[in-house]
Amino acid sequence: MRRYSIQNKIVLPFILLVTVVILIVPVITIGLFDRKYDEQISWETQKWLETIVDTGYIRHPEKVKEAYGAEVTIVSSDNTVNYTTLPGDWASFAEDMKLHEGRKRIKESNRDFVSQNVMVNGRHYKVIYYLQAYDRLYCLMRPREEIAAAKQWVTLLMLGIAAAVIPLVGLISHLIGRNLTDPIKDLVQFTRKVAGGDLNEQGEAKTHDEIGDLTRAFNQMTRDLRNSRNELIGAERLATAGKMAASFAHEIRNPLSSMRMLAQMVMRKANLSESRRKQSMQYILEEIERIDVIVKGFMDFARPASLRLAPHDLNQVLQEVLDLMEANLNHHRITLIKKFAPDHPPISLDRDKLKQAFMNIVLNAMDAMPGGGTLEILTVRQIASRDSDKVRIDIVDTGIGIPPEDLNRLFEPFFTTKSQGTGLGLANAKRVLEQHGGDIQSKSVVGQGTTVSLWLPLPSNSSPSDSKKIGE
């Protein structure tokens, strides 16, 4: 459906109304005026005729013409012209004068005269037919030119007024419309920004009318929304901090209690052999090491350092991870399949952080295939639109799989099913991917295996043809 702006909805009716008023009103006025004038002129001409008959002027047509400015024509019973004051050609006089019709009307009206409008030799007349002896017709013809000229004049005047007034009305209504719609446009722009999540924006209430009130109400609403969002974020942060602190405490409690037990044992047993003492100290050191790993992972997650971005070849980065893992994979009898798409342009990324994330995912896959299996790594270029091309990296294993109830907890910090795991590997990987503007997801079937998919945005306007070709 065609969409009309408020501006047009204001301007168009104005112009339509004025056009109608300027064009229709004169037509009606002229029509009414014409009728009134015709009645008046008929009445007057009758009066003239009566005077002409009474004064005997009827026998002197030239004098009538001189006194009244009217023409006189006298026709005989067979409608041939006996006399006329009219100059020019009389050839079609009987028809032009509508003599038959005149006679008929006189007969029907039972009067001596009737009036009629005729056009003779290109001129308009009001004619009064007066029936005389021997069926002769005396025609008193009064020119009606002025009325036609007046009509033409009024029409031209009206067209002139229309030509001047319609653009003026258009301009005035346009200004009125703009005055009304400009604040609405500002308000719409402001609400769009707010809808886009920018709650710091405030609309400028320029007018002291309903639109100004609406802007002020919107401002208030945005402020309230911002406050409640901040409160919500604060509450959420507190809840997350609480959850993380609890998980962290839980994680380090086990190594701490074993350290306490070992230390107490070493202190209490004075006769402990040197080798047992050393072994206990070694256990304590290992537990300290474990706490250190947990603390480091936690620090990475809680306070992620900013990215050190540089353009890198993604396939190359993946290859470096696999080179490091190769021996380990062979040892676990895991077959590696690589399917790298050859057409990625260099991507701006933090190489070390992404390598760490890939490594965590490959290590998870390895842990999931204790009896060996297949690890497939593929990169796929996804062309969503010109501005949002992405590359997807799938890491597919044929391991034990993940039960559905665990699937949506994988990326929670400290979620682990491993006795020695921190549960921070995937949480950190997700954080790193999100820092790059990417994403990570996983799907799995218990007993069949798991696919972890990672997405990274490609630089905009990069087409496969201008990218560097990278083979396996």
Ligand X SMILES: Nc1ncnc2c1ncn2[C@@H]1O[C@H](COP(=O)(O)OP(=O)(O)OP(=O)(O)O)[C@@H](O)[C@H]1O
Interaction with Mg ion in 1-40: which residues (CB under 5 A)?
A: none
Which span sits near Mg ion by CB under 5 A: 161-169, 246-254, 262-270, 353-361? 353-361
Binding mask 93-132 for ligand X (x = CB under 6 A): ----------------------------------------
Our finding on whether 432 is near ligand X (CB under 6 A) is: no
Our finding on whether 417 is near ligand X (CB under 6 A) is: yes
Binding mask 349-388 for ligand X (x = CB under 6 A): -----------x---xx--x--------------------
Our finding on whether 423 is near ligand X (CB under 6 A) is: yes
Neighbours of 124 (CB within 10 A): 16
Q: Which does 97 bind (CB under 5 to 8 A by kind): Mg ion, ligand X, none?
A: none
Q: Least Å distance between CB 252 and ligand X?
A: 14
Q: Which does 423 bind (CB under 5 to 8 A by kind): Mg ion, ligand X, none?
A: ligand X
Q: Which does 397 bind (CB under 5 to 8 A by kind): ligand X, Mg ion, none?
A: ligand X
Going by C-beta distance under 8 Å and a sequence separation of 6 or more, which residues neighbour residue 393?
A: 314, 318, 358, 377, 378, 379, 380, 453, 454, 455, 456
| Longest CA pairwise span in the chain (Å) | 172
Which span sits near Mg ion by CB under 5 A: 160-168, 222-230, 357-365, 371-379? 357-365
Q: Least Å distance between CB 395 and ligand X?
A: 8
Q: Which does 415 bind (CB under 5 to 8 A by kind): ligand X, Mg ion, none?
A: ligand X
- Exposure class string for 425-449: b at 16+ Cβ within 10 A, else e: bbbbbbbbbebbebebebebeeeeb
Name the residue among 441, 437, 436 with its Cα closest to residue 426: 441
**Distance of alpha carbon 30 from alpha carbon 426, whole angstroms:** 90
Distances (CA, A) of 328 to 322, 324, 331, 365, 466: 10, 8, 5, 12, 37
Binding mask 436-465 for ligand X (x = CB under 6 A): --------------x---------------
Q: Least Å distance between CB 462 and Mg ion?
A: 32
Q: How many of the chain's residues bind Mg ion (CB under 5 A)?
A: 3
Q: Least Å distance between CB 203 and ligand X?
A: 46
Q: Which does 222 bind (CB under 5 to 8 A by kind): Mg ion, ligand X, none?
A: none
Our finding on whether 415 is near ligand X (CB under 6 A) is: yes
Our finding on whether 397 is near ligand X (CB under 6 A) is: yes
Q: Least Å distance between CB 394 and ligand X?
A: 12
Our finding on whether 416 is near Mg ion (CB under 5 A) is: no
| Pick 203 or 373: Cβ nearer ligand X | 373
CB 318 within 8 A of CB 358: yes
* Residue 303 in tokens: 């306070």
Q: How many of the chain's residues bind ligand X (CB under 6 A)?
A: 21
The residue of the chain with the least Cβ separation from ligand X equals 425
* Residue 53 in tokens: 């008959």
Q: Least Å distance between CB 399 and Mg ion?
A: 12
Our finding on whether 335 is near ligand X (CB under 6 A) is: no
Q: How many CA atoms lie within 13 A of 260 on its CB side?
A: 5
Q: Which does 369 bind (CB under 5 to 8 A by kind): Mg ion, ligand X, none?
A: none
Q: Which contacts (CB < 8 Å, 24+ apart) does range 167-172 have?
A: 169/14, 169/15, 169/18, 170/11, 170/14, 170/15, 172/14
Q: Least Å distance between CB 196 and Mg ion?
A: 37
| Pick 227 or 328: Cβ nearer ligand X | 328
Q: Least Å distance between CB 419 and Mg ion?
A: 13
Our finding on whether 364 is near Mg ion (CB under 5 A) is: yes
Interaction with ligand X in 238-277: which residues (CB under 6 A)?
A: none
Which of 341, 354, 424, 454 is in the footprint of ligand X by CB under 6 A?
424
| Pick 84 or 422: Cβ nearer ligand X | 422
Residue 279 is which amino acid?
Answer: Q
| Pick 99 or 334: Cβ nearer ligand X | 334
Q: What does the binding site for Mg ion look like in residue numbers (CB under 5 A)?
A: 360, 364, 425
Q: What does the binding site for ligand X look like in residue numbers (CB under 6 A)?
A: 360, 364-365, 368, 397, 399-400, 402, 410, 415-418, 421-427, 450
